Amino acid sequence: MESSILSIKNLHKRYGKIHAVNNVSLEIQKGNVYGILGPNGSGKSTTLGIVLNVVNKTSGEYNWFGGSMETHEALKKVGAIIERPNFYPYMTARENLELVCKIKNIDYSKVNEKLDVVGLIDRKDSKFKTFSLGMKQRLAIASALLNDPEILILDEPTNGLDPQGIHQIRDIIRLIASQGTTILLASHLLDEVEKVCSHVLVLRFGQVLYCGTVDGMTNQNGFFELQAESNAQLMLILKNHPEVDQVFEREGKVIAHFRNKFDAWLLNRYLAEKGIYLNHLVFKKMSLEEQFLELTNK
Ligand code: ADP
Ligand code: MG
């Protein structure tokens, strides 16, 4: 059975003239990994800040866990890292986490368990100040996991890390997700979202460009690459087809984008009926990167 972790409906946030979040809606179901993807300044952090109760919304609604509890109660079941991790530099990883346990009234046995999840068990007695940025970020994840939250929220979890650090964080996110924790992460990196998320919300200027599965984003759009004896004639006929969105010529091939999914055999038959016999017909799917660029450039 699906159960609702977070439901966001028609959320808006204005900072004076800036419409930072413009009518964002998102349903987060238990067990999935969600990405909010968009270039810098597209409203990702603002959206996370609102649902975490650190930024005031202008209008719209959101509710946690089906609306069954007050936001401040619900947030006790949420683990979030939205700022650079900050711990006591002269205390060890273990001491820092024990302090968090003490404040939040969590059993100390969770410290080793979570240090293990983030691969820091061997470094538990090292002082925080000796940690690399990647290790600090992993300790922050361990800290956010101490109370076994229903959902883990991460804002740009790999920002500033070296390739190895990035790889480790992504592996940890996948591990946590495989153990059943729902995840919501914000990122401006397409490949990050592609690698770890099952669902994605694409934002630009605060507006939703796409919301759905990562697979759906790659599958829905594609284009035909065509060639005929007369490409000019072919283009003329395509331009008059009601389902065709865009036609142009590229490197001797005619590229045709349709508004909706369109079968190759239907197109072939249609053109033949118009007296055009193709010597090249290929349906090409756009890569997620091409999709993203097209979405964000429009
Ligand atoms: P992202 O996290 O996607 O980079 P943000 O949510 O941080 O984007 O910012 C969205 C927009 O809102 C940007 O134009 C940013 O400059 C603006 N913004 C964010 N926070 C504030 C603030 N406290 N005051 C004024 N403008 C803000
Ligand atoms: Mg941000």
Written as one string, the DSSP assignment of 54-103 is SS--SEEEEEEGGGTS-HHHHGGGEEEE-S-----TTSBHHHHHHHHHHH
Q: How far is the CA of 145 from the centre of ligand 1 (A)?
A: 27
Q: Which residue has the higher pLDDT, 216 or 227?
A: 227
**39 Cβ inside 6 Å of ligand 1:** no
Q: What is the mean pLDDT of residues 154-169?
A: 95
Q: Taking 90 as the threshold, does the pLDDT of residue 65 lie above it? A: yes
Structure token digits, residue 271: 């053109």
Asked if residue 85 lies in contact with residue 136, where contact means CB atoms within 8 angstroms, the answer is yes
Q: What is the mean pLDDT of residues 230-244?
A: 95
Confidence bin at 285 (pLDDT 50/70/90)? confident
**296 Cβ inside 6 Å of ligand 1:** no
Mind listing the pLDDT tens digit for each residue in 246-260?
999 999 999 999 888
Q: How far is the CA of 15 from the centre of ligand 1 (A)?
A: 8
- Which ligand is in closest contact with the Cα of 44? 1
Structure confidence at residue 292 (pLDDT): 73
Q: Taking 60 as the threshold, does the pLDDT of residue 298 lie above it? A: no
Q: How far is the CA of 204 from the centre of ligand 2 (A)?
A: 12
Query: Going by DSSP bridges, is the β-strand pair 222-228/199-204 parallel, antiparallel, or unpaired?
Result: unpaired
pTM, rounded to two decimals: 0.81
